[in-house]
C-alpha cells in the first residue's frame, strides 16, 4: 500500500486509562510508527494528568523523529461518559473527573486539533476500521479487563445514544442480588466476569479454605493477580482457577447472547486483557453458551471473534477518529 509521502499526515491516538496512558503515532494507512507509555497518576489531579497526556503524545512523536507539526490531530479515549461534540468528559470515576473540557485543555497544550471519545467506543472503532477493514455494518465490541466496557457500531458509525453514555454493556444486570458492582448496583456483568470479579471470587474462596496454587505464586491475599497468572495456574491443573474462569466465561457467553438478541449484529468482538490472556480457556465456552441462549435466526451470519489488536485497539481507534473527523 502507498504510504504517506507528506510529512504532515500523521495521526496520534491516545488511550487514557485509570493507571496508564498509552499513545501511538500512525500513518494515514493506520500503521503504528511508535508508542509511548506513562503512568496516569490521577491522584495528582486533572491538570497534572493532562500535562502527562501531552508529554506522552510529544514523547511518542519524538520517538518517531517527527514533531507535532507533522501531525494532523490527536484522538483520545477516556474512561467514562464523554460528550464528543463539546469535547468534555462528563464523568470519569476512575480518574475522579467531572465535567472537564479535555479537548480545549489539550489543544491549548499541544496546538493541534484534539478529538475526545469514550475509551471503549474508540477501541471498537479501531477494531472495526483496522482489523475488519471497516466492513461490518453492525458491530459490537466487548472489552473485558479490570472492568467491562463496550462500543456499539451501527450502520458503520459509532452509536453514542441520547446523552453520550451508550455502550455501558458492563452494567447490564445478569444476576439479581449478585455481587456488588463498582457502580453501586448488584449483579452487573462487570461484577461477575471482569478481572476484578474473578479476583474477588478467588479471594473469597481462599478465605473459605479452598486450595489453589495461586496462593503459592502470589501469597494468601493473591496480591497483584494478573490474567496471565490465572492462565498459568489453569495450565498447571488448578481446579479453583479453572472453575472461577469457567464461570466468568459462562457469564460472558450470556452477555454475548443478550447483545446478539438486542442488536442482531454482523460481528461481536471480544477484547481486553482478560480475553487476551485467557482466550484459549474461555472462548469456546463463551461461544457455546452464547449460541445456547440466542433467539432463532440471530446467529445466522453472526461472527463472534476476538481482537488481535490487544492493548493497541484504543490508540488505533484514536487515529481512526482523527482520520474520520479531518476527512
Q: Which residues form the interface with Zn ion (CB under 5 A)?
A: 171, 181, 183, 185, 188
Report in angstroms how near the CB of residue 172 gets to Zn ion at its nearest: 9
Rounded Cα distance, 205 and 235, in Å: 19
Q: How far is the CB of 179 from Zn ion (least distance, A)?
A: 10
Cβ contacts of residue 290 below 8 Å, gap of 6+? Answer: 253, 254, 256, 257, 260, 304
Name the residue with cell 479531518.
Answer: 326
CA proximity to 175, closest of 230, 247, 264: 247
Rounded to whole angstroms, the Cα distance separating 127 from 144 reads: 15
Q: Which CB sits closer to Zn ion, 233 or 274?
A: 274
The CB-of-126 to Zn ion minimum distance in angstroms stands at 25
Least distance CB 150 / Zn ion (angstroms): 13
Measured from the CB atom, the residue of 133 and 163 that comes closer to Zn ion is 163
Please, which residue, 183 or 218, has the CB nearer to Zn ion?
Answer: 183
Q: Which is nearer to Zn ion, 126 or 187 (CB)?
A: 187
DSSP assignment of 78-104: ESSEEETTTTEEEEETTTTEEEE-HHH
Give whichever of 156 and 161 is closer to Zn ion, judged by the CB atom.
161
Taking the CB of residue 212, how many other CB atoms lie within 10 A of it?
20
Q: How far is the CB of 155 from Zn ion (least distance, A)?
A: 28
- Neighbour tally for 32: CB within 10 Å: 18
257 contacts 265 by C-beta, under 8 angstroms: no
Q: What is the DSSP string of 258-327?
A: HHHHHH--SEEEEESHHHHHHHHHHHHHHHHHHHHHSPTTTTTT-EEEE-S-TTHHHHHHHHHHHHHHT-
Instruction: Tell the smallest beta-carbon distance from residue 186 to Zn ion (Å).
Output: 8
Q: Which is nearer to Zn ion, 77 or 187 (CB)?
A: 187
Amino acid at each position: 500500500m502507498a504510504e504517506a509521502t507528506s510529512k504532515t499526515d500523521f495521526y496520534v491516538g491516545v488511550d487514557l486509562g485509570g493507571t496508564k496512558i498509552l499513545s501511538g503515532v500512525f500513518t494515514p494507512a493506520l500503521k503504528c510508527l511508535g508508542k509511548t507509555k506513562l503512568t496516569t497518576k490521577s491522584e495528582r489531579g486533572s491538570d497534572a494528568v493532562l500535562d502527562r497526556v501531552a508529554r506522552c503524545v510529544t514523547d511518542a512523536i519524538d520517538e518517531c523523529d517527527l514533531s507535532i507539526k507533522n501531525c494532523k490531530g490527536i484522538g483520545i479515549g477516556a474512561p467514562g461518559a464523554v460528550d464528543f461534540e463539546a469535547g468534555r468528559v462528563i464523568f470519569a470515576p476512575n480518574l475522579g473527573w467531572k465535567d472537564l473540557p479535555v479537548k480545549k485543555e489539550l489543544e491549548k497544550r499541544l496546538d493541534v486539533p484534539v478529538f475526545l471519545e469514550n475509551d471503549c467506543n474508540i477501541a471498537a472503532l479501531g477494531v472495526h476500521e483496522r482489523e475488519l477493514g471497516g466492513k461490518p455494518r453492525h458491530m459490537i465490541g466487548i472489552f473485558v479487563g479490570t472492568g467491562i466496557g463496550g462500543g456499539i457500531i451501527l450502520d458503520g458509525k459509532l452509536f453514542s445514544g441520547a446523552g453520550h453514555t451508550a455502550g455501558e454493556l458492563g452494567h447490564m444486570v445478569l444476576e439479581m442480588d449478585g455481587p456488588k458492582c463498582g457502580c453501586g448496583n448488584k449483579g452487573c456483568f462487570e461484577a461477575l466476569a471482569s478481572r476484578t470479579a474473578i479476583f474477588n471470587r478467588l479471594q473469597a474462596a481462599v478465605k473459605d479454605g479452598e486450595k489453589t496454587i495461586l496462593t503459592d505464586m502470589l501469597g494468601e491475599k493473591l496480591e497483584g493477580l494478573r490474567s496471565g497468572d490465572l492462565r498459568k495456574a489453569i495450565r498447571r491443573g488448578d481446579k479453583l482457577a479453572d472453575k472461577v474462569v469457567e464461570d466468568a466465561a459462562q457469564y460472558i457467553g450470556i452477555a454475548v447472547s443478550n447483545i446478539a438478541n438486542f442488536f442482531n449484529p454482523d460481528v461481536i468482538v471480544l477484547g481486553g486483557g482478560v480475553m487476551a490472556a485467557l482466550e484459549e480457556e474461555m472462548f469456546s465456552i463463551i461461544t457455546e453458551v452464547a449460541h445456547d441462549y440466542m433467539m432463532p435466526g440471530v446467529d445466522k451470519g453472526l461472527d463472534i471473534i476476538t481482537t488481535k489488536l490487544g492493548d493497541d485497539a484504543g490508540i488505533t481507534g484514536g487515529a481512526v477518529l482523527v482520520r474520520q473527523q479531518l476527512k
